[in-house]
Structure 1
Amino acid sequence: MINRSDIEHIPVNGLLLLDKPGGLSSNQALGCAKRLLQAKKGGHTGALDPIATGLLPLCFGNTTRIAGIFLDFDKTYEVTIHLGETTDTGDTEGEVVSRSPVNISITSIEQALDQFRGKLQQVPPMYSAIKKGGVPLYKLARKNQLIEREPREVIVHNLEVHDYSENNLSLTVKCSKGFYIRSLAMDLGEVLRCGGHVQVLRRVEVGRYSVHDAITLQELEAIPGHEERRNQLMQTDHALNHLVKFEIPEEKALSFCQGQTVPLTAPRWDGLGLIYSADGTFLGLGECDGVGSICPKKVFA
């Protein structure tokens, strides 16, 4: 039988789909999960604001090396924007800086939303983790320092209105990385000339992963024992099973794991692929070099 001290020293690797509660920062939620799993190393794959709930993929151990891949995934949010009030943060955590009467039809709102669909240039909010001179913008914002921000190209794949009542506009937004829902709320409020801020925000999808497959901190804590809780983790290769899979001969596995290129014996592919040995062991991530070889990018074996 494995005792408690042995469990605490077993490396914890894998991906946890967490349904983050409101009121916690992403780092605080990560800290809670690390404690419950007795994991030494962990990281999130794209922060959620403290007021936001929903899907927060967490990587542990050597799986933290794929966190950057998740950052590139599209995200889907359910958001309620309250029109008629502007806050300094763009959400309910901030102070109200202006109020305006709202007498806007849903038709006018739909017309205004058209300019936020497809490719667009978006200016990030001051209250963000983007750094200027090595300092996060939110720290400068707290000192009442307004810094000019360069617009960034983002994509809104889908923007759907669900409800509009009592100045509350409910939307579903599927967007590319780098898109700020708070900027959408503030920009829409500006276009409508009444102001607006995020009242409720929930992330429901990251890439192909859904919040319906996630676990809450309360549910994780209710599972008795660290070993049982670790059964909730998805292994690294399973977390990336949307990638092409390629098997290399057993005699080439060591070369791959040592960072050497190995011959490609199947049709080439674009981007990263999952590389396995002939016995089914996951070795790591590799790319085709275009001249008949596989180049190791991240080795896990």
Structure 2
Amino acid sequence: MEGIINVLKSPGMTSSDVVVWIRKILKIKKVGHTGTLDPGVAGVLPICVGKGTRLAEYITEQGKAYIAEVTFGVTTDTQDSYGKVIRETSPMLNRSELERILPNFTGKISQVPPMYSAVRKEGKHLYEYARKGIPIEINPREVSIYKLNLEEWFEGQFPKAILDIECSKGTYIRTICHDLGQTLGCGAHMSYLVRVRSGPFKIQESWTLEEIEEAVCDGNFSFILPLTAGIDLPKVSLSGLRSNAFRNGLPTKREQVKILDDKKEPYVQVMESEELIGIGVWREEVLYPHKVFK
């Protein structure tokens, strides 16, 4: 059994909880997720099964899309609704003020990860320092925000906004929410978040754990997608002879490779007929095995 499952994670579960659940229901040990979703966050969580676990790194690298709710006037120590309130005010804020600053948060931006996060510093997670009250310098890192649109605006003592966000991997949405509040001078936190896309996997096509359990009971495993469904890399094809060479770690000259996509990237999916046999990497005009499925 191998492939990728587009799981709709519900709030309250960790990503590891989902992995354990899938292992149990499918009775298979080789299961892994493709990037952590916080327990309070709902949405798309691709789960790799069997050989699919070797593709997790490629799926994780792909872009994400979210719908986020931001509450202005309330700042928390975790930058989301699960933290301790450290500042509260009733801001005189309107929609146009928020729309005015959103372009400053698109494109390539510098972002400081939150203290309550799994980012490592000197061998420890940042949340370990935060829980012990140990101050530590956090280095900013560059992320890409491809889209940041204001979808809805709600007036009130603590105004709320619904944002449609597309971004690169490693982006902290709660930090975007926090930084918007800091820029506007009133503070803010992320009050709700749902991931609507991870790479090519969309929420409209996801399966709840209840739906997966019901399908398994009916002997229906259509929720397990093929390995190629989760990788946004160009494809090449090899003959039977060169496929065997690839599986044995041998390179292949470009003239012996059938190019199936025009996209010019160093890493490619290597196919034999309709079967994915591994990931290859171009070095000049030669295709070398990078990851082989035997």
- Compute the TM-score of the two structures, normalised by the length of structure 2: 0.91
Q: Which residue of 2 aligns with 1:300?
A: 293
Partner SS for 1:283: strand
CA contact (8 A) 1:288 1:295 kept: yes
In 1: Cα distance, 2:146 partner to 2:7 partner: 24
- Corresponding position: 1:239 with 2:230: yes
Structure 2: 5+ residue stretches without partners = none
The counterpart of 2:196, out of the listed 204, 207, 218, is 204
CA contact (8 A) 2:201 2:230 kept: no
In 1: Cα distance, 2:61 partner to 2:216 partner: 35
- In structure 2, the CA distance between the partners of 1:276 and 1:118, relative to structure 1 (3 Å rule), is closer
**Mapping for residues 147-162 of structure 1, pairs under 5 Å:** 147-162=136-151
What is the percent sequence identity of the aligned residues? 32
Partner SS for 1:32: helix
Q: Once the 2 structures are TM-superposed, how far is the Cα of residue 226 of structure 1 from its aligned partner?
A: 8.5
Q: Which residue of 1 aligns with 2:78?
A: 89
The counterpart of 1:251, out of the listed 233, 241, 245, is 241
Q: Once the 2 structures are TM-superposed, how far is the Cα of residue 289 of structure 1 from its aligned partner?
A: 2.0
The counterpart of 1:270, out of the listed 265, 272, 276, is 265
Question: How far does the alpha carbon of each residue in 1:108-167 deviate from its partner, in whole angstroms, 9 at most, with x for none?
Answer: 111122211111111000011111111111122111223211111111111110111131
Q: Once the 2 structures are TM-superposed, how far is the Cα of residue 219 of structure 1 from its aligned partner?
A: 1.1
Partner SS for 2:222: helix
- In structure 2, the CA distance between the partners of 1:32 and 1:226, relative to structure 1 (3 Å rule), is farther
Question: How far does the alpha carbon of each residue in 1:213-233 deviate from its partner, in whole angstroms, 9 at most, with x for none?
Answer: 1101111122243853x4311
Q: Which residue of 2 aligns with 1:169?
A: 161
Q: Which residue of 2 aligns with 1:105?
A: 94
CA contact (8 A) 1:126 1:146 kept: no
Q: Which residue of 2 aligns with 1:133?
A: 122
Q: Counterpart of 1:172 in structure 2: which amino acid?
A: D
Q: Which residue of 2 aligns with 1:121?
A: 110
In 1: Cα distance, 2:97 partner to 2:40 partner: 28
CA contact (8 A) 2:59 2:230 kept: no
CA-atom RMSD in angstroms? 1.8
Structure 1: 5+ residue stretches without partners = 1-11
- In structure 2, the CA distance between the partners of 1:186 and 1:281, relative to structure 1 (3 Å rule), is closer
CA contact (8 A) 2:266 2:283 kept: no
Q: Counterpart of 1:196 in structure 2: which amino acid?
A: A
In 1: Cα distance, 2:225 partner to 2:216 partner: 19
Question: How far does the alpha carbon of each residue in 1:4-38 deviate from its partner, in whole angstroms, 9 at most, with x for none?
Answer: xxxxxxxx321111111001111112222222222
In 2: Cα distance, 1:117 partner to 1:239 partner: 26
In 2: Cα distance, 1:49 partner to 1:194 partner: 25
CA contact (8 A) 2:199 2:230 kept: no
The counterpart of 2:11, out of the listed 4, 22, 32, is 22
In 2: Cα distance, 1:297 partner to 1:226 partner: 38
**Mapping for residues 56-95 of structure 1, pairs under 5 Å:** 56-95=45-84
Question: How far does the alpha carbon of each residue in 1:18-72 deviate from its partner, in whole angstroms, 9 at most, with x for none?
Answer: 1110011111122222222222022211111111100111112221111111222
Q: Counterpart of 2:193 in structure 1: which amino acid?
A: L
- Compute the TM-score of the two structures, normalised by the length of structure 1: 0.89
- In structure 2, the CA distance between the partners of 1:285 and 1:88, relative to structure 1 (3 Å rule), is same
CA contact (8 A) 1:83 1:196 kept: yes
Q: Which residue of 2 aligns with 1:192?
A: 184
Question: How far does the alpha carbon of each residue in 1:60-95 deviate from its partner, in whole angstroms, 9 at most, with x for none?
Answer: 222111111122211110000111111111111111
In 2: Cα distance, 1:83 partner to 1:152 partner: 25
Q: Which residue of 2 aligns with 1:8?
A: none
Tell me how many residue pairs correspond in the alignment: 286
